[in-house]
């Protein structure tokens, strides 16, 4: 049983052999176009001359067939399959990748096997949507990820999660380690069910820093039911290993893989090393100078090198604005497991700030030594951190990321990027804002103002499920 994510695979299955070649070549052209300023300039100056393009990318490509993709003035042309077949194909690909992300979001839970985890994850997704605004729609909230090394050998200056220096990898050939890895995966599957297939095998690590990555991924697939998605910044270090890591994901389920492109010269070398067909299922994420779209978030190490522009709320009338800088590359709402240090953190994405510089909350952390203690840690992290209801006897307050704005139109709840009216009860909002009362106390306090206790309980519960309020330790 594998995680149900049909959209992306359906797109690739739907193409004829000729369409696959066309698509792979189109993708390659667009990668050079978006990632290589000299290529862009050359195409523009030579007005798309056949010779220039053939010399650069190794095959003939007619740019006039994709005008709506590269020419702003043609972007709004009505596109249909008959008149613009390549543009139509590309747009279908983009939609399939978007649908795939949505499928991972919807199905990356335990499907009721561990209801406490599922409700907690949903609450984190709601909170992140309010906190991060539209950018949160691209976050898959994977339920688990495994780091196969300690630290990362690449050392990107902009690393959004501040990876530490590489200290070594998990050696699957060392005594007992294979059984250990299989046991860890089995325990994870016991708790997360098919949702574990939404997991992957890197975080502040590069998967290909582990020379046994493909064996580890095969084990993952044997238990999770699907191959983990690869994101690597070192596809050129050992092209044979990179190829194997891509080849092994051609089974029943395919996930989009990613190469991070650190410089324009690396982009060209990637293209010289791998054919368009080999990279048909690999997104090149341009992190290089001169790329059309800078994929970096102002998080982690990038925050230290970049002048942070705080996200201020435009309407601060009657409310106190809390500056937010932000951005995140974090995409897990669940467990971050390191196989070398044998630690598990419970994490979820947030804006990068001084308090959460790497763009994710760490709610709790535990260490394990054996497969059994790993399973025990997962269960304890769930029971200690995933309370299902707002406690009647613990103080509630709004999340740190929220501003409460009081204006003539009533009360609005606002994050740095999103705002919503709260038309129900000013008195309730004020009581929560004080950050000093339990739900029991608030219900009684509002009942004295003739506000129906059932309505108050319902609203507090809704704010809780939306991830907008936190429950504090009892006094
Ligand atoms: S961005 Fe990725 S490859 Fe670069 S240092 Fe961070 S974890 Fe390593």
Statement: residue 425 has pLDDT above 90: no
Half-sphere exposure of 455 (CA within 13 A, CB side): 11
206 in the same domain as 128 = yes
Look over the chain and give the mean of its residue pLDDT values, rounded to a whole number. 90
70 in the same domain as 119 = no
DSSP line for 265-311: HHHHHHHHHS-TTTTTTEEEEE-STT-SS----S-THHHHHS----B
Q: Residue 421 has what pLDDT? A: 84
Q: Residue 1 has what pLDDT? A: 66
Residue 76 covered by a domain: yes
Q: Residue 176 has what pLDDT? A: 96
365 three-class SS:
strand
Q: Residue 321 has what pLDDT? A: 40
What is d(CA 363, CA 330) in angstroms, rounded to the nearest whole number? 14
Q: Which of 107, 134, 169 is a domain's end point? A: 107
Residue 189 covered by a domain: yes
Q: How far is the CA of 419 from the centre of ligand 1 (A)?
A: 33
208 in the same domain as 66 = no
What is d(CA 178, CA 188) in angstroms, rounded to the nearest whole number? 15
55 in the same domain as 12 = yes
Q: Residue 247 has what pLDDT? A: 78
455 in the same domain as 422 = yes
What is d(CA 220, CA 429) in angstroms, rounded to the nearest whole number? 47
What is d(CA 84, CA 445) in angstroms, rounded to the nearest whole number? 65
Residue 312: which pLDDT band, with cuts at 50, 70 and 90?
very low
Atom of ligand 1 nearest to the CA of 329: 1
Residues 6+ apart with CB under 8 A from 261: 35, 267, 270, 284, 285, 286, 287, 288, 291
Residue 361 covered by a domain: yes
| Residue nearest ligand 1's atom 7 by CA | 204
Percent of the chain clearing pLDDT 70 (strictly above):
93
| Residue nearest ligand 1's atom 1 by CA | 159
Select from 153, 158, 206 the residue to mutate for testing ligand 1; criterion: most ligand atoms less than 8 Å from CB: 206
The 10s digit of each residue's pLDDT in 172-211 is 999 999 999 999 999 999 999 999 999 999 999 999 999 9
Question: Which residue, 235, 179, 187, is CA-closest to 207?
Answer: 235
Residue 280 covered by a domain: no
Q: How far is the CA of 137 from the centre of ligand 1 (A)?
A: 23
State the pairing for strand pair 396-398/360-367: unpaired
What is d(CA 162, CA 342) in angstroms, rounded to the nearest whole number? 19
Structural domain count of the chain: 3
Statement: residue 315 has pLDDT above 70: no
Atom of ligand 1 nearest to the CA of 204: 7
Query: How far is CA 152 from each of CA 89, 319, 362, 375, rounded to the nearest angstrom?
Result: 37, 43, 20, 26
The 10s digit of each residue's pLDDT in 116-130 is 999 999 999 999 999
pTM over 0.85: yes
In terms of DSSP H, where are the helices of 36-84? 37-45, 50-57, 67-70
- 418 in Cβ contact with 468 (< 8 Å): no
Q: How far is the CA of 151 from the centre of ligand 1 (A)?
A: 9
Atom of ligand 1 nearest to the CA of 202: 7
Q: How far is the CA of 154 from the centre of ligand 1 (A)?
A: 6
Statement: residue 320 has pLDDT above 50: no
- 31 in Cβ contact with 271 (< 8 Å): yes
Select from 204, 285, 304 the residue to mutate for testing ligand 1; criterion: most ligand atoms less than 8 Å from CB: 204
Q: Residue 324 has what pLDDT? A: 46
Residue 275 covered by a domain: no
175 in the same domain as 231 = yes
What is d(CA 368, CA 374) in angstroms, rounded to the nearest whole number? 5
Residue 391 covered by a domain: no
What mean pLDDT do residues 71-92 have?
90
Q: Residue 422 has what pLDDT? A: 82
Statement: residue 142 has pLDDT above 80: yes
In this structure, of 46-60, 115-129, 354-368, the range with the lowest mean pLDDT score is 46-60
Q: How far is the CA of 99 from the centre of ligand 1 (A)?
A: 26
175 in the same domain as 33 = no
- 170 in Cβ contact with 210 (< 8 Å): yes
Q: Residue 417 has what pLDDT? A: 77
Select from 167, 233, 332, 352 the residue to mutate for testing ligand 1; criterion: most ligand atoms less than 8 Å from CB: 233
Residues 6+ apart with CB under 8 A from 8: 96, 97, 99, 100, 254, 255, 256
Select from 147, 159, 297 the residue to mutate for testing ligand 1; criterion: most ligand atoms less than 8 Å from CB: 159
Residue 267 covered by a domain: no
**Which residues form the domain of 233?**
109-255+297-385
Q: Which of 107, 125, 142 is a domain's end point? A: 107
Ramachandran angles phi, psi of 157, nearest 5°:
-65, -25
| Residue nearest ligand 1's atom 6 by CA | 159
145 in the same domain as 181 = yes
237 in the same domain as 94 = no
Q: Residue 48 has what pLDDT? A: 64
Residue 390 covered by a domain: no
102 in the same domain as 29 = yes
Q: Residue 471 has what pLDDT? A: 79
357 in the same domain as 217 = yes
380 in the same domain as 347 = yes
Q: Which of 84, 107, 130 is a domain's end point? A: 107
Ligand 1 pocket, Cβ-based, cut-off 6 angstroms:
152, 154-156, 159, 163, 204, 206, 233
Residues 6+ apart with CB under 8 A from 256: 8, 97, 100, 229, 281, 282, 283
Q: How far is the CA of 38 from the centre of ligand 1 (A)?
A: 26
DSSP line for 449-467: TT--HHHHHHHHHHHHHTT
Q: Residue 408 has what pLDDT? A: 77
Helix (H) or strand (E) holding 36: none
């Amino acid at each position: 049983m594998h995680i149900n994510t049909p959209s992306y695979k359906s797109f690739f299955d739907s193409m004829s052999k000729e369409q696959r070649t066309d698509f792979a070549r189109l993708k390659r052209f667009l990668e050079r176009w978006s990632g290589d300023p000299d290529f862009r300039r050359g195409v523009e100056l030579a007005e798309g001359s056949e010779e220039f393009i053939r010399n650069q990318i190794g095959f003939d490509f007619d740019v006039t067939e994709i005008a709506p993709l590269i020419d702003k003035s043609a972007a709004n042309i009505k596109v249909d399959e008959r008149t613009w077949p390549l543009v139509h194909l590309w747009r279908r690909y983009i939609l399939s990748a978007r649908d795939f992300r949505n499928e991972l979001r919807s199905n990356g839970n335990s499907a009721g096997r561990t209801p406490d985890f599922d409700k907690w994850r949903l609450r984190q997704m709601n909170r992140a949507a309010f906190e991060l605004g539209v950018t949160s729609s691209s976050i898959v909230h994977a339920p688990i990820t495994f780091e196969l090394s300690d630290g990362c050998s690449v050392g990107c200056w902009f690393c959004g999660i501040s990876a530490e220096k590489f200290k070594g990898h998990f050696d699957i050939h060392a005594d007992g380690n294979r059984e250990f890895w299989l046991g860890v995966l089995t325990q994870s599957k016991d708790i997360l069910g098919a949702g574990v297939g939404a997991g992957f095998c890197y975080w502040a690590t590069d998967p290909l820093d582990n020379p046994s990555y493909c064996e580890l991924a095969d084990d993952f697939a044997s238990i999770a039911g699907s191959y983990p998605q690869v994101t690597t910044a070192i596809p050129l270090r050992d092209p044979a290993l990179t190829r194997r890591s891509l080849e092994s994901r051609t089974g029943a389920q395919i996930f989009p893989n990613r190469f991070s492109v650190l410089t324009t010269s690396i982009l060209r070398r990637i293209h010289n090393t791998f054919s368009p067909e080999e990279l048909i299922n690999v997104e090149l994420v341009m992190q290089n100078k001169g790329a059309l779209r800078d994929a970096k978030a102002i998080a982690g190490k990038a925050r230290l090198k970049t002048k942070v522009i705080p996200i201020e709320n435009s309407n601060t009338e009657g409310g106190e604005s809390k500056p937010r800088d932000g951005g995140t590359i974090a995409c897990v709402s669940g467990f971050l497991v390191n196989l070398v240090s044998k630690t598990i953190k419970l994490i979820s994405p947030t804006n990068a700030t001084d308090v959460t510089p790497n763009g994710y909350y760490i709610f709790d952390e535990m260490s394990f030594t054996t497969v059994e203690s790993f399973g025990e840690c997962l269960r304890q992290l769930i029971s200690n951190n995933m309370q299902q209801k707002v406690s009647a006897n613990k103080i509630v307050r709004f999340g740190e990321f929220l501003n409460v704005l009081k204006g003539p139109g009533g009360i609005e709840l606002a994050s740095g990027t999103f705002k919503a009216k709260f038309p129900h009860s000013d008195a309730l909002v004020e009581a929560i804002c004080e950050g000093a009362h339990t739900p029991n106390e608030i219900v009684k306090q509002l009942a004295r103002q003739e506000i129906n206790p059932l309505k108050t309980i319902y609203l507090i519960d809704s704010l809780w499920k939306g991830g907008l309020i936190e429950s504090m330790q009892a006094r």
